[in-house]
Amino acid sequence: MLRIAVQTKGRLNDDTMRLLTEAGIKLSIGKRNLLVASQTFPLELLFLRDDDIPQAVADGTSDVGIVGENEFVEKQKDAELVKRLGFSHCRLSLAVPKEAEYQGLNWFAGKKIATSYPEILSEFLRKNAIKANIHVISGSVEIAPSIGLADAIFDIVSSGSTLITNHLREVEVVMQSEAVLIKNTALSNDKQAILDELIFRLETIQNSADKKYLLLNAPNDKLSEIVAILPGMRSPTVLPLAQAGWSSVHSVIDEKHFWEVVSKLKAAGAEGILVLPIEKMIP
């Protein structure tokens, strides 16, 4: 049985539970359950605060964990980052009062900066030879300048709306963050095998994200041109149609390139273009 630590509540929890469900891991979770076993996979979930997960994984209380990269880097615990998961994106940034005449990092010299991430901030200031005073706050960092506790803040930013509400503006992005999968450095072979299967399932889900399955009909004398337009895992699949002189072409494309690719295909003579969603894609 592999034990995985996840956030008790919040956006990271919601995204994590959605991902595990897509991976075929079924769980029955009650309101007061802190440890829940799956009925379909040799895995149990341990619910913890986000900032407690790196320590739990490092000391073996949990075998693996899904945690914000910002917390993993800040806590500096002896655990291994296994995989970036591609959700719960945010950034750690420096922000100043919107009326401040900010002209560069030297503005922070001698200033007091409020943050919940003193280790990451200290390292950033050290690398940039900036001497500032760090004031550690466990929550509501954004109000520190308005009540006179600090001159600026260093905190998580997602949309930036919280900064605007508190009359602050983002001036320096220090770190990009997302959900990551971390593991204990002394995982047994049996637990590593379970983790490998879990990673395989997660990668299968990630491979299908933002991709579409494309089918079209093409005249044979245009096949070379049309195939050259289409990306694919290796190359497009081409099958003969019952109508002489025509073929069916199948491929996978990124959704972000969809309209650009379809326009080129139509111009090259493709017809009957059909686009389907992809639930899972195994490389």
The Cβ-side half-sphere exposure at 137, using a 13 Å CA radius, reads 20
pTM: 0.79
pLDDT score recorded for residue 233:
59
Structure tokens at 57: 């994984």
CA distance 29 to 201: 21
The Cα 255–Cα 54 span in angstroms is 35
The whole-angstrom separation of Cα 226 and Cα 238 is: 11
Measured between alpha carbons, how far is 164 from 142 in angstroms, rounded to an integer?
10
* pLDDT at residue 234, as a whole number: 67
Q: 90-177, superfamily in CATH?
A: Periplasmic binding protein-like II (3.40.190.10)
Q: What's the CATH number of domain 2-87+178-207, 3.40.1350.10, 1.10.10.10, 3.40.109.10, 3.40.190.10? A: 3.40.190.10
Q: Do domains 90-177 and 210-277 have the same CATH topology?
A: no
Displacement of CA 206 from its chain's centroid (Å): 10
The CATH code that applies to domain 210-277 is 3.30.70.120
Please list the ranges in the chain whose pLDDT falls under 70. 30-31, 231-234, 283
Determine the pLDDT at residue 211: 80
Task: Evaluate whether 256 touches 247 at the Cβ level (below 8 Å).
Answer: no
Residue-level pLDDT at 4? 97
Q: What is the pLDDT of residues 120-149, one digit of tens each?
A: 999 999 999 999 999 999 888 999 999 999
pLDDT at residue number 31: 65
Q: Domain-by-domain residue ranges, the chain?
A: 2-87+178-207, 90-177, 210-277
CA dihedral 111, 117, 122, 128 (to 10 degrees): -80
Sheet holding 35-37, edge to edge: 35-37, 43-48, 2-7, 64-68, 179-184, 79-84
Amino acid code (one letter) for 144: A
Only one residue has tokens 């520190």, namely 144
Specify the pLDDT at position 262: 87
